[in-house]
Structure 1
Amino acid sequence: MEPRLFGSFVEHMGRTVYSGVFEPGHPLADADGLRTDVLELTRELGVTLVRYPGGNFVSNYRWEDGVGPVEDRPARLDLAWRSLEDNSFGLNEFMAWAAKAGVEPMMALNLGTRGVAEALELVEYANYPGGTRLSELRRSHGVDKPHDVRLWCLGNELDGPWQMGHKTAGEYGRLAAETARALKRFDPNLSLVACGSSNSGMATFGSWEAEVLEATYDMVDYISLHAYYDPSDGDADSFLASAADMDHMIKSIAATADHVGAKLRSRKKIKLSFDEWNVWYQSRFKGESSLEWAAHPRLIEDVYDVTDAVVVGSLLITLLRNADRVGVACQAQLANVIAPIMTEPGGPAWRQTIFHPFALTARYARGEVLRVEPDSPLIETAKYGEVPAIWATATHDPETGEITLFAVNRDRHGALPLEIALPGDMRVAEHLELADDDPSARNTAADPERVVPRQGTGAALDGRRATLTLPPVSWTIVRFAPLTARSAR
């Protein structure tokens, strides 16, 4: 299992950056204008990797605008979100934030309105030690040592007609291959992500990946996947089963990548970068054309409830269950925009309901992912057919011997029993549940602790068997520790 599975996403969109992670003048801002309350929550969330600066934003972005003296930086129009971008936060500010947050940067390149030359210039500015025009420019901006960014996205969602610089698979595949070839010449150890489909509903889903990978297979390391799940249509059973779609999407693209590898007679395995995923009340968003030009407006600031958190927990379970192929994953986004962290300008920051399953999974999913196949009742859904009511996985930490179980009960009408066979004599070290008598309960600035994980009840051990009850519409974590580890302490 890769630590990069617990990634997040900071895009210049809405208030993710401005009054999200960055707010000079806030009472809790540090000398760099970074909100220390958001930094603290980011560390608590357990984020390991952050993708930046987009997203749709990157396809019309000039990275040069965001470096150098702030007073000299130009204001630009962001065509993706019809926003006014003053560029007071850019590459070096993001890298300073990433260092303080303790996260690895994942940088996206503009292959929408720009190309190979601009990509190479950014990589040289960011990664070359010194002695060249661009590396010395970085040093003149107060950054003596290179940022040494190792993971790069070759554009964003360029299959989408909403994207600045939208391309066909053939057009994008050639540009991505040319860019990848040049970047690997600069540093063969860079890890590169080719754009996959924007979502599985695209007419070119699957065929896009096949054509792009045929052009880029030997030069890229990952193909990207994006998926958002919308609870707005009122079909609660299908929404709770969203992980069935994510699982099918992962397996479909892995099979497509393997087919291309076989066709090219390559022994290389392409991994998957699920670098945008989340719950998003997308049907409430009226589209980019409905937006008025504004500077970092309040944009898709969804407020999440218990059901949303349970779905997020099930998506995390799905990523873990596919950790043999998914090497990178980023929940979109970190602050304010469909986010686990909410803030108010000049005011507080707080945890949304979806914060909790992510934080606990990131904290305790360690070591190896175990194959878990619960024998579960089935639920009939309109979108995905029959799905198991219980969706689960487990991890084993070889250093501590702990086994951690993650489980979701999708049933809206009743609790379900779960019996677990353990490999040895163990004890319950921790048992937490995210559930509520009101599955629409939410956290707000006025009541930020309305929904939190609570101590689970009813877990019992009988020899090497554990039993527990999963409440309806719930996400559960149970940590089992070896008895020998307890006696050693």
Structure 2
Amino acid sequence: MKKVKYFVDKNYKISEVDPRMFASFIEHLGRAVYTGIYEPDHPTADDQGFRQDVMELIKELKVPMVRYPGGNFVSGYNWRDGIGPKEDRPRRLDYAWRTTETNEVGIDEFVDWAKKADIEPMIAVNLGTGTPQDAGYFVEYCNHPGDTDLSELRKKNGHEEPHNFKLWCLGNEMDGPWQIGHLNADDYGKKALEAAKIMKWVDPTIELVACGSSNAEIPTFPEWDRTVLEYLYEQVDYISCHRYYENFGNIEDFLGSFADMEKFINTIVSTADYVKAKKRSNKTMYLSFDEWNVWYQKKIKLTDWEVAPPILEDIYSLLDALVFGGLMCSLLKHADRVKIACLAQLVNVIAPIFTRKGGAVLKQTTFYPFQQVSTYGRGEVLNVLLDAPTFKTNLHGEIPIVQSTATYNKEDNTITIFALNCDQIDDVELSAELRSFGGLKVIEHVVLDGPDLNATNTFENPENVKPRNVDIPEVREGSLNIVIPKLSWNMIRISCNK
């Protein structure tokens, strides 16, 4: 059995975890909204049409924030189309996904849903076809208390109190040629700067996210990020990151996706710090990793201009869930700079929650690692010193067979270790040195694994892939020896007695 040495000290911490690390994303795309969170004819729908079975699972995931309304969708979206009496709202062609948008759900409905789900909205403005003035008007409608045309219109539409959205995205993926109103870095920087000025004049309390690069393969990466930050460094609080992973047939490369995510984060951090130095600024730029997931970006031919067609409905396997867990470790390991991370997306569209129109709701395999880390990955991220054998990948070079991080929660005095074993043949014995925490007792060891890496959850067999509890070892003199099964995702929770 391979052995991994694991050292954690309570005094060696990376950062407090921002709860927004466990955020998600709802875009007007496919069935994310319609027959996802909203389906008035569903047996569980409330008086506003929101599916309660879906909301229960979202609450189980403990998602604190959701980005809305896009995504590519937002770059052609007029927020005014989604307010006022529903019978008066226009049906529009959505150029981004070539569907028809009914506008049954708009900003006021979304804020009602968010309150019911105990979620803080993260709102994106249109900097594709939209103007800086449009962005300012949107903030005014949502956040200004009253006595202006737009704030009084909000009241007329049923919301006397302002929505008080505090986090706003300055567009979406504006570096991408696929984006409606695509701009080069200089033109985006100038436009976003004017939008930022107006938006903060309307509400000085808001935080802003600048569009970073949409991916690492685009030729302008990371020069785009440098240029944009040189325009916006003192006006924004975050630069966005987007990164997706899929299995191209090499399991070692896919399992090692966490190494690419960490390289990607380090590149953006370095770029931001260069701009900080160039500007002689005392401000540290943080990252909003507001799109990430496993996503199989296959091309699907659909009939144009349908309403809520089944777009991007990936069905996730056990292998996908293992890779997903490794990515979550990477985000936590960079909690000093990554303050926001949005799993893209939340329901139906490349999502951990999947619905049938008029029917049941399903937990996909990726639901479980997200739920575990969102629930128990709070508190402080600890700096883990790991001595492990490596395995060879084509894309990432030699990387450790175990990807892991650990958190310490002062509130309940617990340590949680998250670990992905990438070894395809052997279990691993993990020897963890934890003596700085005092007396310890293992609460549980939960494993996600199985004989079939391609296994999925279905409506007919919804618990085909789910975590299992295994026997827990004793902690002796501050040391823990625990077996991590081959090709498995693990959560080990430990209580501290003093």
TM-score (norm 2): 0.95
Give 1:155 shift.
Answer: 0.1
Q: 1:52 aligns with which of 68, 88, 101?
A: 68
Quote the residue 2:229 is aligned against: 213
Give 1:467 shift.
Answer: 1.1
Which blocks of at least 5 consecutive residues in structure 1 are unaligned?
485-489
Verify: 1:279 aligned to 2:294, yes or no.
Answer: yes
DSSP-derived class of the 2:200 partner: helix
Aligned residues of 1:374 and 1:391 also touching (Cα < 8 A): no
Aligned alpha-carbon RMSD (Å): 1.0
Quote the residue 1:425 is aligned against: 439
Q: Distance in 2 between matches of 1:215 and 1:344?
A: 46
Give 1:290 shift.
Answer: 6.1
Verify: 1:255 aligned to 2:270, yes or no.
Answer: yes
Aligned residues of 2:421 and 2:489 also touching (Cα < 8 A): yes
Give 1:456 shift.
Answer: 2.4
Aligned residues of 1:373 and 1:392 also touching (Cα < 8 A): no
Verify: 1:353 aligned to 2:369, yes or no.
Answer: no
Aligned residues of 1:153 and 1:192 also touching (Cα < 8 A): yes
DSSP-derived class of the 2:277 partner: helix
Quote the residue 1:319 is aligned against: 331
Verify: 1:114 aligned to 2:130, yes or no.
Answer: yes
Amino acid paired to 1:322: H
Q: Distance in 1 between matches of 2:477 and 2:454?
A: 38
Verify: 1:385 aligned to 2:400, yes or no.
Answer: no
> Could you report, residue by residue, the CA deviation over 1:115-152 in whole angstroms, capped at 9, with x for unpaired residues?
11100111000011111100000100111111000000
Q: Distance in 2 between matches of 1:54 and 1:14?
A: 12
Amino acid paired to 2:296: Y
DSSP-derived class of the 1:248 partner: helix
Quote the residue 2:476 is aligned against: 462
Aligned residues of 1:458 and 1:469 also touching (Cα < 8 A): no
Quote the residue 1:179 is aligned against: 195
After TM superposition, the runs of 4+ consecutive aligned structure 1 residues lying more than 3 A away are 457-460
Aligned residues of 1:127 and 1:148 also touching (Cα < 8 A): yes
Verify: 1:477 aligned to 2:469, yes or no.
Answer: no
Quote the residue 1:269 is aligned against: 284
Q: Distance in 1 between matches of 2:378 and 2:472?
A: 25
DSSP-derived class of the 1:414 partner: coil
> Could you report, residue by residue, the CA deviation over 1:173-194 in whole angstroms, capped at 9, with x for unpaired residues?
0111111111122222211000
Q: Distance in 1 between matches of 2:432 and 2:304?
A: 54
Aligned residues of 1:13 and 1:337 also touching (Cα < 8 A): yes
Aligned residues of 1:81 and 1:291 also touching (Cα < 8 A): no
Verify: 1:242 aligned to 2:268, yes or no.
Answer: no
Q: 1:227 aligns with which of 233, 240, 243?
A: 243
Verify: 1:131 aligned to 2:143, yes or no.
Answer: no
Amino acid paired to 2:267: S
Give 1:367 shift.
Answer: 1.2
Amino acid paired to 1:449: E
Q: Distance in 2 between matches of 1:456 and 1:410?
A: 19
Higher relative contact order (CA 8 A, sep 6+): 2
Give the 3 Å change call, closer, same or farther, for CA 458–377 of structure 1 in structure 2: farther
Aligned residues of 2:447 and 2:489 also touching (Cα < 8 A): yes
Aligned residues of 1:459 and 1:469 also touching (Cα < 8 A): no
Q: Distance in 1 between matches of 2:324 and 2:474?
A: 27
Q: Distance in 2 between matches of 1:190 and 1:450?
A: 44
Q: 1:412 aligns with which of 424, 431, 434?
A: 424
Give 1:441 shift.
Answer: 1.1
Aligned residues of 2:144 and 2:203 also touching (Cα < 8 A): no
Mapping for residues 16-31 of structure 1, pairs under 5 Å: 16-31=32-47
Aligned residues of 1:243 and 1:315 also touching (Cα < 8 A): yes
DSSP-derived class of the 1:439 partner: coil
Aligned residues of 1:285 and 1:300 also touching (Cα < 8 A): no
Give 1:67 shift.
Answer: 0.6
Give 1:437 shift.
Answer: 1.4
Aligned residues of 1:37 and 1:349 also touching (Cα < 8 A): yes
> Could you report, residue by residue, the CA deviation over 1:166-213 in whole angstroms, capped at 9, with x for unpaired residues?
000000001111111111222222110000011011101110000000
DSSP-derived class of the 1:327 partner: strand
Q: Distance in 2 between matches of 1:335 and 1:285?
A: 20
Amino acid paired to 1:165: G
Amino acid paired to 1:334: L
Q: Distance in 2 between matches of 1:182 and 1:345?
A: 41
Q: Distance in 1 between matches of 2:453 and 2:218?
A: 32
Verify: 1:302 aligned to 2:318, yes or no.
Answer: no
Q: Distance in 1 between matches of 2:497 and 2:382?
A: 20
Mapping for residues 32-181 of structure 1, pairs under 5 Å: 32-181=48-197
Q: Distance in 1 between matches of 2:182 and 2:311?
A: 23
Q: Distance in 2 between matches of 1:182 and 1:459?
A: 58
Which blocks of at least 5 consecutive residues in structure 2 are unaligned?
1-16
DSSP-derived class of the 1:294 partner: coil
Verify: 1:10 aligned to 2:26, yes or no.
Answer: yes
Give the aligned length: 480
Verify: 1:394 aligned to 2:412, yes or no.
Answer: no
DSSP-derived class of the 1:39 partner: helix
Quote the residue 1:370 is aligned against: 382
Give 1:459 shift.
Answer: 3.3
DSSP-derived class of the 1:138 partner: helix
Give 1:463 shift.
Answer: 2.0
Q: Distance in 2 between matches of 1:143 and 1:483?
A: 49
> Could you report, residue by residue, the CA deviation over 1:303-336 in whole angstroms, capped at 9, with x for unpaired residues?
1011111111111111100000001100000000
Aligned residues of 2:380 and 2:408 also touching (Cα < 8 A): yes
Give 1:291 shift.
Answer: 5.4
Aligned residues of 2:444 and 2:472 also touching (Cα < 8 A): no
Amino acid paired to 1:249: F
Give 1:447 shift.
Answer: 0.9
Give 1:483 shift.
Answer: 3.0
Quote the residue 1:442 is aligned against: 456
Q: Distance in 2 between matches of 1:411 and 1:301?
A: 29
Amino acid paired to 1:11: E
Give 1:9 shift.
Answer: 0.3
Give 1:366 shift.
Answer: 1.8
Give 1:426 shift.
Answer: 0.5
Give 1:457 shift.
Answer: 3.3
Mapping for residues 335-354 of structure 1, pairs under 5 Å: 335-354=347-366
Aligned residues of 1:221 and 1:271 also touching (Cα < 8 A): yes
Give 1:458 shift.
Answer: 5.6
Question: Taking every aligned residue pair, what percent have the same amino acid on both sides?
Answer: 50
Amino acid paired to 1:457: D
Quote the residue 1:452 is aligned against: 466
